[in-house]
Structure formats: structure tokens, C-alpha cells
Amino acid sequence: MFITRRHFLTMLAASPLVMSPLGETQAAPSRVIVIGAGIAGLAAARALAEKGIAVTILEGRERIGGRIYTSHTWPDIPLDLGASWIHGQHKNPITDLAKAAQAQRVVTSYDSAALYIDPRLSKLGVKSANEAAIAKLVTQALNQANQLEQDISVKAAVDRVLTKPVSPSYQAQLDFYLNSKFEQEYSGSIATLSAQTMEDGKSFTGTDALFLQGYEQITNYLAQGLNIQLGQTVTKVAYGAKGVSVTTQHQTHTADYAIITVPLGVLKRNTIQFSPVLSRDKQIAIQRLGMGLLNKTYLRFPKVFWPKNIDWHEYLSPDKGRWVEWVSFAKIGAPVLLGFHAADTARTVENWTDQALVADAMKVLKTMFGNNIPQPVGAQITRWAKDPFAYGSYSFNAVGSTLQDRKNLAKPSGRLFWAGEATSSSYQGTVHGAYLSGVEAAKALLKLR
Ligand SMILES: Cc1cc2nc3c(=O)[nH]c(=O)nc-3n(C[C@H](O)[C@H](O)[C@H](O)COP(=O)(O)OP(=O)(O)OC[C@H]3O[C@@H](n4cnc5c(N)ncnc54)[C@H](O)[C@@H]3O)c2cc1C
């Protein structure tokens, strides 16, 4: 709904005033604008709407879900181009939502894995990923880095403990370990991931599960009955003692409060002008935290030609970060393989054409499964770094960033409240972290009633 300035002022005059926890007099929220219809924005809007608050969500895209995006390009196999898994189903709020939405899930396990070794490494005598020994070295490197006064990157930490040059085969095993354990997990390059704070944060226990009909079942469930305006790209947010005004390419909307849930990548690009400018703490947090990259390549084949009962197919090669992890969808009856690229390699291959990427994937799959495998009948490829509503996949702790940066990002700025995965101190980079941050922002606003 478009509100005129006069209506806005009348509405503000009518708002009951309460004391905020900071001792300032603040109007109780009766109208709230949420920027972004990802899981954080939907969670916040739902919690507010349930308490009778008039909420409008302004979403730049022509769809809801943000980094939860189920593709129906292949109508018989819905595929998630953004988030796929509930990581740790036990006590995870997304598990409760999945149950409420009656969304069917399939468990996958990192223990169900096979390793394939590139022929160039086999020729050098490499037979395994040498994981136990490399894990020991990397743990030692990170422990030593933790004792340093100043933060360094994971790469710098590992380089410090490698006292003499290593063989090409050892280097490949080390790169494989660092890519699969850190870059694919946190989405940042080991050259920028913080050795001291990278692993800050918590996780839920239990199994990991995929959605048979797509993650969008969760966002669609949350969105029911909410007032969501699509195609509204916010360019300016003005806020003051009396309320907020939010400008999109079409119009200006006003409300008592706003909740900002746009991704860290968008905040880093300064595509939204804040007036007054954001606090220094917030600006430092936006600059210091990293926005990482994880991209997906789904390949559909005429039939399953790989072992059906193995979830993860891992590829150890001298080409750093190249097609290191593959997930099989054979378990759900789909002849589909999903290949991942993370961090620097993902940035490089984002610039390749679909054709070049598929050709490269096929070269690798042939070394893994033999020359006689069929050509794919289709491909779906993501390029999250180029997405103007995300500019990356999810946030990570870059060198020099601390937990306090996330807390500063989450802190209200007067009438602006903040949510989204990057604001989560406990579960950053995840769907559940984003969801919980939205619920928290709504709770903080409701306390003003
Ligand atoms: C490839 C990939 C794989 C992932 N895998 C997993 C996984 O398996 N499990 C997991 O838990 N997490 C995973 N994640 C992370 C997870 O998707 C995110 O943490 C979560 O979805 C973020 O939700 P959000 O609400 O914070 O942000 P978003 O979903 O990004 O929502 C923000 C919304 O703001 C909108 N917006 C941006 N700019 C503007 C603007 N100027 N005006 C108006 N609207 C704007 C966006 O369009 C978007 O809809 C993955 C992410 C990616 C990209």
C-alpha cells in the first residue's frame, strides 16, 4: 500500500509511545516495512503479522525466497539452485517448518563418499587423500595461528608450518583438503578466511536432509497471507525519530520501522543509500566480513552410470578447486549429478560459458567414471557472484573480522532493525541462521509495544 506523507504523519501522531530498553521514547510499531523476501524477511514478517502489525515486504526480484530458489526448468525434477540442505535436523527450526509444511526430505551423509584420483596423480603413486596426516598438520597450523596477536588467513597459517617445499602430489592432497573442508563449507578463499575466527559459530546436530520437491516449500509456507510486493528494488532508506521512508524505483513507502534483510554482498556494493549514513561500527562490519561464493552445476544424464548408493563423489586432482565435490541425486531416482565450485575457482569459472563449463565437467567425469559415459541431456548452472540481489553466496569470517562485527551488523540503527544470515552470530551462512535472525528482529521490535 502506498501511503501519502500526510497519512504517514497522522499515523505517527496516533502511535502510542513506549520506553525502549535504551530509555529513549519510541513509538510502538504499527506499520513495518521488511526489505527482502528471503527466509529472514519472511520469518520476521510472519512473526510481526501474527501479532497484528501491518507489514509490507518489499522484494527486488520477481520471486520470493532469495538465496532459496527451486528451479522447475526440468518439471519432473525440481532442483535447488541456492540452499539445498537442512544442516543438522535435530532441534533445527527448519525441521519444524518442514514438518508443518509437510515437505518430504531425503537424508544424505558425508560418510557416504567415494574418492576418485586424477590419472596424473595416480602416476605419481597417489592412492588416497592422505586425510588423517593432513588434518593433523592443518589443526596444528590453526592452533598456532590462534596464539598469534594478529589474525592471519588459513593459507598463511598453513604456510607457516610447512617448513620445507612439498612435492606436487602432497600439494594436491593439501589443496584438496583445504578446498573440501574449508572453501566449500565457508565459501571464502583460504587466502582470505580467518584462521582465528573462521570456525566461530554453532551448528545443530543430527542428519543433513534435502527437499524432494525443493526448499521453496519452506519459503512458500512462510509467505502465506503476507503482503509481499515483488519487483521493488530499494534504492534509498531514510530513517529518523519519527519513522522510516523507503524508496524503490517505483515509489516511496513509509512506516514506523523497517527491517533490512538484504545480503551482505548487496550492502558491500552500497546500492542502497542510507540517510543518515550507517554507524561506523556497521560500516566496518560490512567491510570486514567476507562475502563468499559457492556455485552449482547440475548435469542431467539419460541414465545413472555412477554407483547409485553413494551420496558424495570426490575428485582429487592437481587442478586446485576444480570439480572437487559431486553429489549424486540417484537416491531420489534422478539421473542428476551436482558439481560444486567454491571461492576463487568459482569466481574464475563464473566467467566461462555454459558450454565450456559442461565440456570441462565431462572431461573430469570421464576420468572418474570412464570414457563411455553418455553426454548430459541438460545443465543448470548458477552464477551467484553476478546476481545483483546477492553478489555472492553467503558470508564468511574474513581475516580480521570478529564475532563483534556480526553483532554490530545485527544491532538496530534507530528505527532500522537488521536480519539475514550475515547478522547471525551463531549460525551464519545458513538457512536456519537467517530464519532465526528474522525471528529475533521481530521479537526486538515487538518489545517496543
Ligand atoms: C549456492 C548456495 C548453496 C547454499 N546451501 C545452503 C544449504 O545447503 N543449507 C543452508 O542452510 N544454507 C545454504 N546456503 C545459504 C542460505 O541460502 C542463506 O544463508 C539464506 O538463504 C539467506 O537468507 P536471507 O534471508 O538472509 O537472505 P536472502 O535469501 O538473500 O534474502 C534477501 C532478499 O533481499 C532481496 N534484496 C536484495 N537487494 C534488494 C534491494 N535493493 N531491494 C529489495 N530487495 C532486495 C533479495 O532479492 C532477497 O530475496 C546456500 C546458499 C547458496 C547461494
Counting ligand 1 atoms within 8 A of each CB, the residue from 262, 296, 338 with the most, and so the one to mutate, is: 262
Residue partners of 305: CB distance under 8 A and separation at least 6: 369, 373, 374
- Relative to the CA of 40, which ligand 1 atom is closest? 25
pLDDT at 21: 38
Question: β-strands 336-342, 325-328: how paired?
Answer: antiparallel
Per-residue model confidence as pLDDT tens digits over 380-415: 999 999 999 999 999 999 999 999 999 999 999 999
Q: Is the pLDDT of residue 331 over 60?
A: yes
pLDDT at 279: 98
Q: How far is the CA of 421 from the centre of ligand 1 (A)?
A: 8
Average pLDDT over residues 356-366: 98
User: What cell was used for 398?
Assistant: 574474513
Q: How far is the CA of 124 from the centre of ligand 1 (A)?
A: 42
What is the Cα–Cα distance from 299 to 43, expressed in whole angstroms? Answer: 33
In 357-406, beta strands by DSSP E: 378-381, 395-396
What is the Cα–Cα distance from 39 to 432, expressed in whole angstroms? Answer: 9
Question: DSSP label at 114?
Answer: E
Q: Is the pLDDT of residue 120 over 90?
A: yes
Q: How far is the CA of 150 from the centre of ligand 1 (A)?
A: 31
Its pTM surpasses 0.85: yes
Residues with CB under 6 A from ligand 1: 35-41, 58-61, 66-68, 82-85, 87, 233-234, 261-263, 266, 271-272, 294, 296, 382, 384, 389-390, 393-394, 420-421, 429-432, 434
Per-residue model confidence as pLDDT tens digits over 341-356: 999 999 999 999 999 9
pLDDT at 28: 77
What is the Cα–Cα distance from 421 to 437, expressed in whole angstroms? Answer: 7
- Relative to the CA of 85, which ligand 1 atom is closest? 8
Average pLDDT over residues 5-16: 38
Distance between alpha carbon 439 and the CA centroid of its chain, in Å? 18
Q: How far is the CA of 117 from the centre of ligand 1 (A)?
A: 34
Per-residue model confidence as pLDDT tens digits over 192-241: 999 999 988 899 999 999 999 999 999 999 999 999 999 999 999 999 99
Q: Which residue has the cell 551462512?
A: 429
What is the Cα–Cα distance from 36 to 230, expressed in whole angstroms? Answer: 9
- CA 368, 371, 376, 380 torsion: positive or negative? positive
Average pLDDT over residues 263-273: 98
Domains within the chain, CATH numbers bracketed: 5-66+214-290+400-446 (3.50.50.60), 70-111+205-212+292-386 (3.90.660.10)
Question: β-strands 79-80, 113-117: how paired?
Answer: unpaired
| DSSP character string of 327-355 | EE-GGGT--EEEEEEEHHHHHHHHTS-HH
pLDDT at 235: 98
The residue nearest atom 43 of ligand 1, judged by CA position, is 60
What is the Cα–Cα distance from 45 to 51, expressed in whole angstroms? Answer: 10
Q: How far is the CA of 146 from the centre of ligand 1 (A)?
A: 31
Q: Is the pLDDT of residue 23 over 50?
A: no
Q: How far is the CA of 106 from the centre of ligand 1 (A)?
A: 22
Q: Is the pLDDT of residue 24 over 50?
A: no
Q: Is the pLDDT of residue 5 over 50?
A: no
pLDDT at 449: 83
Distance between alpha carbon 28 and the CA centroid of its chain, in Å? 32
What is the Cα–Cα distance from 410 to 387, expressed in whole angstroms? Answer: 23
Per-residue model confidence as pLDDT tens digits over 312-330: 999 999 999 999 999 999 9
pLDDT at 157: 98
Indicate the average pLDDT of the chain. 94
pLDDT at 32: 98
What is the Cα–Cα distance from 375 to 155, expressed in whole angstroms? Answer: 37
Distances (CA, A) of 159 to 153, 260, 401, 405: 10, 40, 21, 27
Q: Is the pLDDT of residue 6 over 70?
A: no
Distance between alpha carbon 448 and the CA centroid of its chain, in Å? 30
The residue nearest atom 33 of ligand 1, judged by CA position, is 36
**Share of residues in the chain with pLDDT > 90 (%):** 91
Q: How far is the CA of 432 from the centre of ligand 1 (A)?
A: 11
Q: In what order do the strands lie in the sheet with 273-275?
A: 252-255, 243-248, 234-240, 273-275
